[in-house]
Structure 1
Amino acid sequence: MQQDKHPDYRPVVFRDRAAGYAFLTRSTATSGETIEWDDGETYPVVDVEISSESHPFFTGKARTVDSEGRVARFERRYGGADAEGT
């Protein structure tokens, strides 16, 4: 592996502003802001718009909106259980 070619891989805090949640992980992301973490150390902080704490898929609040009715549209195109020949 070539030296001085890869970015620094270091601890970084990611802060989800929507959920008010922050987590410490390792990353190559850079930031000019810092934050003091629970362990008393200071880490760079990266603000994100959405994380697993606020994303509808991970929170269980995801909804599927079916405006026309996919099943009805499929049956109209290709015939349903009441189609001729079945």
Structure 2
Amino acid sequence: MRKNIHPNYRTVAFHDTRMDTYFLIGSTVATSQTVEHEGKEYPYMAIDVSSASHPFYTGEQRTHDGEGRIAQFRRRYRQSKPSESK
């Protein structure tokens, strides 16, 4: 293998911020933050979704309690009836 062309492979602490869960996984992700986990310091990467929080893995169904985009558009930009001119 050629030297100095491969990324640095190391154990990284991925933090699922939604569930406050840590995963220690070998990765080449570049990060400048570190975190101490179980008495050892690891490079740190915050993530929004993991197997601990994704509905496919947890079996939870989440519903959207809002109106759709078209309904929002119509509500926001609805025009009052034009006044009749004589």
Q: TM-score, normalised by structure 2?
A: 0.67
Residue 15 (structure 2) aligns with: 15
Are residues 1:42 and 2:36 paired? no
- Cα distance in 1, alignment partners of residues 37 and 60 from structure 2: 30
Letter of the aligned partner of 1:55 in structure 2? H
How far off is 1:55 after superposition? 0.3
The corresponding residue for 1:4 is 4
> 1:26-83 CA distances to partner (integer Å, 9 max, x unpaired)?
1001212111110x221111000100000000001147xxxxxxxxxxxxxxxxxxxx
Where has structure 1 moved over 2 Å in runs of 4 or more? none
* TM score, norm. by length of structure 1: 0.67
The residue that corresponds to 1:58 in the other structure is 57
Match of 2:71 in 1: none
Q: Which letter does structure 1 place at the counterpart of 2:44?
A: V
RMSD between superposed Cα atoms in Å? 1.3
Q: Is there any run of 5+ residues in structure 2 with no aligned partner, and where?
A: 63-86
Q: Number of residue pairs matched?
A: 62
Equivalent residue of 2:31, what SS? coil
